[in-house]
Each structure stands twice: as C-alpha cells, then as structure tokens.
Amino acid sequence: MTAKPFVLSPRLILFDQQGHLLVMRRSASSKTNPGKWELPGGQIEPGEPFDDALKREITEETGFSVIIHTAAGTAMQETEEARIVHLVMIGSIFSGGLSISREHDEYRWAGVTEIAALDKADWFSEYFRMYMGGVPESGQESSG
C-alpha cells in the first residue's frame, strides 16, 4: 500500500479593528468540507513560492491584498487523494475590499466564542482546539 502524499495548504488569519477573525463558509458544492467554516487560503500551484500562493489565494477568495507576518500553527486533514497540512499564518490587510469568491457563500468577522459555535471544517476544528480553544472569553481572567 502506498501512503498518500502530503500537500501543503497555506491559510491566513486576518483580524478586523475589533480583533475579530475573518472566517468563511465553503459553498454547498465544495468537494471538501461543503457548508463548513474555515480560514481563507488554499492550494499552492506547482513551482509557486509559498508566500505568493497564500497572497494569491487570499486575493482570489476575499479581494484583499495582504501582508504575511508570522506562522500561527498547523492542522491536518485527510482526503481520498492526500494528507493535507494546513499551515496557518497571521497577516494584515494592505488594500482592497471584501468580495468573496464562489468557493465560499458566506463570511463573518467573528470572535473566539462565535467561532467555537460554528460548524467548522475538520482541519479548522482541529486547529481551533489546539491553538484557540484555551482562549478565555472576554472579561474572564485566565488562571495559571
């Protein structure tokens, strides 16, 4: 049995001025995770540099031109064809206005509590649990 190949999928966390994250719901016709919420991002084309791919995907999916700042974690997803490693980065909006592609049918600027309640893509649920699940709600002190 041949192991499925690993594929890298860059994703981006973008914040609004209130500290909410941009999340997007995949359209019902999507091949993977239809109707589920996720962070914007996607595939790297053959020979395309990672940061160029992420900037292109964000522009295609959101209409924004972005600046990439730092890495923010990873999550895995397995499909019939591949094992996808989602590498989540943090960025900021440089220019443009929000205009979503047909890949998604809805977007929200959401806080951690709202994201917790969304029906998330499998990989985004994993990422949320590992990196965002321990974030206290506003007004609560973290113990430790």
Q: 5-33: per-residue pLDDT in tens?
A: 999 999 999 999 999 999 999 999 988 89
pLDDT tens for residues 98-136? 999 999 999 999 999 999 999 999 999 999 999 987 554
d(CA 102, CA 47) in angstroms, rounded, equals 25
Tokens matching residue 12: 């981006």
Structurally, what CATH architecture does the domain formed by 6-132 represent?
A: Alpha-Beta Complex (3.90)
Q: What is the largest CA-CA distance in the chain?
A: 52
DSSP letter for each residue of 18-80: TSPEEEEEEPTT-SSSTT-EE-SB-PPPTT--HHHHHHHHHHHHHSEEEEEEEEEEEEEEE-S
What values do phi and psi take at 37, rounded to 5? -90, 145
Amino acid identity for residue 102 in this structure: R
d(CA 14, CA 39) in angstroms, rounded, equals 9
d(CA 125, CA 111) in angstroms, rounded, equals 15
Calculate the average pLDDT of the chain: 91
Note the residue count of the chain.
144
